[in-house]
Amino acid sequence: MKKKHAPSIARIMAGTADKNASLFQRLGVPLGDPAAWIELDTRRIALVRDLEMDRVEKMGHADDVTCPAEHPPPAGLSPDRETATAEAATQLLRAARVEEVYADRSLPYIFAWHLQQAEIDVLYDDQLGVLDRRQKTHHELESLAAAQKVTEEVMRMMCEIVARSSAAADGTLQHEGALLTSERITSMAAIEFMKRGFSMTHGAIVATTPHVADCHHSGEGPLYTGRPVVIDLFPRDESTRYWGDCTRTVVHGDASDTVKAMHTAVVEAKAAATARLTAGATADAIHKAAEEVLLRHGYPVSRGEITDHPSIQHGTGHGIGLDLHEPILLDHGGDEVLEHEVFTVEPGLYGRNDGGVRIEDMLVVTNDQARNLNSLPDSLHWA
């Protein structure tokens, strides 16, 4: 009888694929039940509920598709579905004579605990489920471009609604005979996305003074003529599960000189970061290119502090794909960027008194000039 040898490298990912993008990428199906993905050298094993085996087999990503019932421990499987999946994953690895297994950052503790009880060492690989998702395939780039195109369609609609509204005597905006608020724009955007098969599971940002001074405030209350409105839409395409992400700033009527100056600085900062966004550059250098422009225009850094006057509160962008925010960040200390990574570039300025300005595009890294997936203008005026 041929003796079984332990694989030289074993890896595991586990959880629910509808919430774990790395697991979904491997299984190909957004399962809501616990599942695991196990690699034994080059052999790829999908451990899923028996009812889901056919669906996962059809995706063709796994060499073997199995279920917990095929790998019971000596005392039998737990009636709890997640526990049973962890028990079965442990038994599968034990049968392969695995003594140590590499896990990614998302491994649920229930799986780690069962592996440890079986005296299998769980080792952490900080690049598992990160590096392989950073560089997008042609299919992924197409999915992101399609998501961004729809995001821009709705963005244009929302900006035009704000710009073309009427102003009441108190300066509040009126649309179709009713007060126009941050919440109303958010609801209208959600409806438009739903019509297109997209969802806004993380909400949206439609913010003006004073709330926009906190750069991640979702916004609330009436919108006013003459005040900048930062609109940040980040929906998910439910057919592909890839995200769009776009920000524009719109002013109804005339913008103040202060807001115009902020806008000029932000547009220049975005251009500076975009020019540096090439394969081999560091995320640190790309961020600094944008930050240095804003500093040169006289705006201070105020991270963690909400200010009355315009200031810099955040980095320049983030990776995007199956998650809205993916490694790496375009920020201080950021690593080298890779060809076919996709980033948002979104410098901004924020203050209580004058409001905020942020403009955000989605770009694909190449060995030359980055490819911009956006086509909307950067203008403050959309009427």
Average pLDDT, the chain: 97
Share of the chain above pLDDT 70, in %: 99
Whether 2 has a pLDDT exceeding 50, the answer reads: no
Mean pLDDT on 270-288 = 98
Confidence of residue 5 (pLDDT cuts 50, 70, 90): confident
**pLDDT, tens digit, for every residue of 55-112?**
999 999 999 999 999 999 999 999 999 999 999 999 999 999 999 999 999 999 999 9
Measured CA to CA in angstroms, residue 152 lies from 8, 159, 163, 200, 230 at distances of: 48, 10, 16, 14, 14
Tokens at 222, concatenated? 């009436």
Of how many residues is the chain composed? Answer: 383
Q: Which residues contact 329 (CB under 8 A, 6 or more apart)?
A: 283, 315, 317, 318, 319
Share of the chain above pLDDT 90, in %: 97
Mean pLDDT on 192-219 = 97
Whether 118 has a pLDDT exceeding 50, the answer reads: yes
**pLDDT, tens digit, for every residue of 165-192?**
999 999 999 999 999 999 999 999 999 9
Confidence of residue 4 (pLDDT cuts 50, 70, 90): low
Mean pLDDT on 249-254 = 98
Whether 1 has a pLDDT exceeding 50, the answer reads: no
**pLDDT, tens digit, for every residue of 21-68?**
999 999 999 999 999 999 999 999 999 999 999 999 999 999 999 999
| Of the options 3.20.20.20, 3.40.640.10, 3.90.230.10, 3.20.20.70, the CATH number for the domain spanning 134-372 | 3.90.230.10
DSSP letter (8 states) at residue 311 = B
**pLDDT, tens digit, for every residue of 290-308?**
999 999 999 999 998 999 9
Tokens at 11, concatenated? 């890896």
Could you give phi then psi for residue 356, rounded to 5 degrees? -130, 160
Confidence of residue 367 (pLDDT cuts 50, 70, 90): very high
Q: Which of 275, 231, 267, 279 is nearest to 347 (CA)?
A: 267
Q: How far apart are CA 137 and CA 315, in angstroms?
A: 26
Top CATH class of 10-129 equals alpha beta
What's the pLDDT score for residue 107? 98
Measured CA to CA in angstroms, residue 19 lies from 30, 33, 185, 200 at distances of: 8, 10, 28, 15
Could you give phi then psi for residue 39, rounded to 5 degrees? -115, 125
Give pTM, 2 decimals: 0.94
Q: What ranges do the domains of the chain cover?
A: 10-129, 134-372
Q: How far apart are CA 81 and CA 71, in angstroms?
A: 13
Mean pLDDT on 280-299 = 98
Q: Is 8 exposed, middle or buried (0-12, 13-18, 19+ CB in 10 A)?
A: exposed
Measured CA to CA in angstroms, residue 298 lies from 69, 76, 292 at distances of: 65, 68, 10
Mean pLDDT on 322-345 = 98
Whether 226 has a pLDDT exceeding 50, the answer reads: yes
Confidence of residue 244 (pLDDT cuts 50, 70, 90): very high
Confidence of residue 337 (pLDDT cuts 50, 70, 90): very high
Which residue shows structure tokens 């439609």?
206
Alpha helix segments (H runs only) across the chain: 21-27, 53-59, 81-95, 109-117, 131-134, 138-164, 182-195, 257-276, 283-296
